[in-house]
Structure formats: structure tokens, C-alpha cells
């Protein structure tokens, strides 16, 4: 997938008016926005005289029409806050039709584009069992090109280990908004990894991506199943009872993850890789409450 395919014109047009907003993490002044969640709007606070280098989109032309003075709009808590995109690229993300990683990459591209349009700093950190080469946070058109180019080159590989989130959290990154995109199917460690990000004073969003086959399996009969991460194979008989047990186990796993996120103030959303990534981002940003 090329950088251009990640963000076609239709996607950019749909996302152009969106902005990221985030709550100030505990004890740290970050973020140009005061909404407790991702949102579409900012809270207007005041005006100040226009200065060279200010974003001309923030000029209040109504004031100029009345007073012939150039002033820019000031929003509450107008200070810097980076967006960090932490993307799971383990082998399990290569599963599904459509592939989970292909969906996740387009999801990350959409969020990067919104951050770019909002003049925010943003960066990309892929991970599997360990942290992989990253694109550090920066702003500007060049940064968007770097992130899209990096995203277009990603391929699934390695086992999932959420200890990578611990490693990233302990690296001393400036507190900001961390969006973790993963299938969160590792048997353990996901909750601990998210907790590590909170302890590092980040605001966290967890986006779980599962394929239609995982959400609603239709296979039946005697099958040879292969673990995509370990390569281990197992012959199993899949009947109605086995499918029912699988769905119950997956629901319990996802419910535990969602309940943890709710209790700890993490925005959580379960997404299907068959969905439109742009539509899912728009839905995420329009959530209230």
C-alpha cells in the first residue's frame, strides 16, 4: 500500500474539519484542548493580537470586519501536546479478510492527518514483542509524509508482547495523547501495558481491531488450526458447542478489557477490520460524554 493509497482525496476531504482534543494529564500542563475525550471542537477563550507565524485559519475575520484589527482566537489551555500512535504489527495483525494490520495502518494514517491539520506534533511507534524503529513526534507536511511512508512499509511479524508498552512508557516521553491500536489478543499483559502508559501520565485511547472471522467465526468440522504467531498447529473439531464456547471466551476477554478501560478513564473502542477506517475515526471523534 502506497502513502497515497493510505489517504485518498475522499478521506482527506472527510477528515479536514476534524481536530483532536485531549484532557490535561494529571499534574502536567499539556494539550491545546480541554475536552476530556477525543472531540470535534475546542473551547474558545479569548482573542490576542495577530503575530507573524500564527495560523491564519485562527484569525477572527468578524472582529477584523468591525474593528480593522487582526486578532487570533485563543482556546483554553492552548499549549503543546504530542500525539503518539502506538501500532501493534505482530503476526496476529496479519490475520483476517480484510487484514487487521491494513485496517490499522489506514486508521493511524487518518489520525496522523487530523493531527497534521491541527498543527499538532505527532509520531509513530510500531511494536510487536519489542519496540521497532519509530518516527519521533514533530509537526509539518514533512512529518506527515514521513509517517505515511513508514506506515506504508509496515508488515506483520513477531509475537505480541505488551511489555513493549512498558518499555515505551519508561522511556520518559513527554506526556500526551497515546493511541494504542492492536487486536489485544495476547493472553496476558495488555491491561498491564495500558496501566504503564497511565502511570507515565499519558492520556490513553485503546482501539481494538478484530477481523470478521474472529468476531463471528463460521468454520465448522474437523480443522487444522495454526497459531499465526507461534506456528504451533492443532487439529480440532469445531461444532456448535465449540463455536459457542469461543464466542463466550472472546466476549469475556473483551469485556474485561473494556471494563478496565472504563474504570481507568481510557477511551476504548472495538472495531471490525471490515469497516471503513475513515468512518470509524469520524465516529470516534464525535463521541460525547
Q: Are residues 94 and 71 in the same domain?
A: no
Q: What's the average model confidence in pLDDT over 158-185?
A: 94
| pLDDT tens-digit map of 188-201 | 689 999 999 999 99
| pLDDT tens-digit map of 29-67 | 333 333 333 333 345 556 778 877 777 788 889 888 989
Residue 28 has pLDDT above 60, yes or no: no
In a domain, 8, yes or no: yes
Cis peptide bond prior to 98, omega within 30° of 0? yes
Cell (9 digits) for 37: 475525550
Residue 181 has pLDDT above 90, yes or no: yes
Q: What's the average model confidence in pLDDT over 64-83?
A: 76
How many angstroms separate the CA atoms of 179 and 205, rounded? 5
Residue 174 has pLDDT above 60, yes or no: yes
Q: Are residues 71 and 85 in the same domain?
A: no
Q: Are residues 117 and 71 in the same domain?
A: no
Look at residue 18 in the predicted model and tell me its pLDDT.
Answer: 87
How many angstroms separate the CA atoms of 66 and 105, rounded? 46
- Provide the residue range defining the domain that includes 62: 45-75
Q: Which of 88, 80, 100, 175 is nearest to 125 (CA)?
A: 88
Binning pLDDT at 50, 70 and 90, where does residue 72 land?
Answer: confident
Look up cell 495560523; give the residue: 55
CA 126 to chain centre: 12
Contact 57, 94 (CB under 8 A): no
Number of neighbours of residue 186 by Cβ within 10 angstroms: 19
Look at residue 238 in the predicted model and tell me its pLDDT.
Answer: 65
The domain total for the chain is 2
Please indicate whether residue 143 or residue 66 has the higher confidence score (pLDDT).
Answer: 143
* Percentage of the residues of the chain whose pLDDT score is greater than 90: 56
- Which CATH number covers residue 201? 3.40.50.410
Residue 167 has pLDDT above 50, yes or no: yes
The C-alpha angle 179, 180, 181, rounded to 5 degrees, equals: 115
Look at residue 85 in the predicted model and tell me its pLDDT.
Answer: 98
Q: Which of 278, 272, 273, 280 is nearest to 10 (CA)?
A: 278
Look at residues 33, 53, 75 and tell me which one is the last residue of a structural domain: 75
Buried b (16+ CB within 10 A) or exposed e, 215-250: eeeeeeeeeeeeeebeeeeeeeebeeeeeeeeeeeb
How many angstroms separate the CA atoms of 184 and 89, rounded? 11
| pLDDT tens-digit map of 87-127 | 999 999 999 999 999 999 999 999 999 999 988 899 999 99
Q: What's the average model confidence in pLDDT over 15-23?
A: 75
Binning pLDDT at 50, 70 and 90, where does residue 220 land?
Answer: low
83-88 and 177-182 strand pairing = parallel
Q: What's the average model confidence in pLDDT over 259-270?
A: 95
How many angstroms separate the CA atoms of 231 and 224, rounded? 12
Q: Are residues 207 and 264 in the same domain?
A: yes
Q: Are residues 68 and 182 in the same domain?
A: no
What sign for the dihedral angle of Cα 94, 98, 103, 106?
positive
Residue 219 has pLDDT above 70, yes or no: no
Q: Are residues 225 and 276 in the same domain?
A: yes
Binning pLDDT at 50, 70 and 90, where does residue 17 land?
Answer: confident
Q: Are residues 59 and 104 in the same domain?
A: no
Q: Can you say whether residue 268 is alpha, beta or left, with left for phi > 0 and alpha for psi between -120 and 50 degrees? A: beta
Q: Are residues 54 and 98 in the same domain?
A: no
Contacts of 20 (CB under 8 A, 6+ apart): 33, 38, 83, 111, 114, 115, 118, 120, 177, 285
Q: What are phi and psi of 59, to 5 degrees?
A: -65, 135
| pLDDT tens-digit map of 224-263 | 555 555 667 766 666 677 788 888 999 999 999 999 999 9
Amino acid at each position: 500500500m502506497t502513502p497515497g493509497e493510505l489517504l485518498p482525496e475522499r478521506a482527506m476531504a472527510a477528515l479536514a474539519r476534524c481536530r483532536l482534543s485531549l484532557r490535561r494529564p494529571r499534574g502536567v500542563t499539556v494539550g491545546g484542548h480541554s475536552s476530556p475525550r477525543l472531540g470535534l471542537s475546542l473551547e474558545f477563550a479569548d482573542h490576542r493580537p495577530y503575530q507573524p507565524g500564527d495560523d491564519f485559519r485562527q484569525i477572527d475575520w468578524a472582529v477584523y470586519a468591525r474593528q480593522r484589527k487582526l486578532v487570533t482566537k485563543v482556546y483554553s489551555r492552548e499549549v503543546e501536546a504530542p500525539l503518539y500512535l502506538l501500532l501493534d504489527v505482530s503476526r496476529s495483525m496479519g490475520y483476517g479478510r480484510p487484514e487487521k494490520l491494513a485496517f490499522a495502518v489506514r486508521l493511524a494514517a487518518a489520525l496522523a492527518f487530523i493531527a497534521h491539520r491541527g498543527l499538532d506534533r505527532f509520531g509513530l511507534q510500531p511494536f510487536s514483542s519489542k519496540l521497532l524503529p519509530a518516527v519521533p513526534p514533530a509537526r509539518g507536511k514533512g512529518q506527515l509524509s514521513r509517517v505515511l511512508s513508514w506506515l506504508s512499509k509496515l508488515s506483520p511479524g513477531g509475537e505480541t508482547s505488551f511489555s513493549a508498552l512498558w518499555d515505551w512508557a519508561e522511556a520518559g516521553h513527554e506526556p500526551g495523547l497515546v493511541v494504542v491500536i492492536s487486536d489485544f489478543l495476547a493472553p496476558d499483559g495488555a491491561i498491564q501495558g495500558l496501566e504503564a502508559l497511565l502511570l507515565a501520565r499519558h492520556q490513553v485511547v485503546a482501539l481494538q481491531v478484530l477481523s470478521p472471522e474472529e468476531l463471528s467465526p463460521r468454520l465448522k468440522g474437523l480443522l487444522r488450526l495454526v497459531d499465526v504467531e507461534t506456528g504451533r498447529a492443532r487439529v480440532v473439531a469445531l461444532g456448535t458447542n465449540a463455536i459457542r464456547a469461543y464466542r463466550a471466551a472472546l466476549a469475556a476477554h473483551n469485556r474485561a478489557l473494556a471494563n478496565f478501560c472504563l474504570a481507568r478513564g481510557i477511551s476504548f473502542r472495538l472495531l471490525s477490520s471490515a469497516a471503513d477506517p475513515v468512518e470509524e475515526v469520524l465516529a470516534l471523534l464525535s463521541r460525547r460524554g
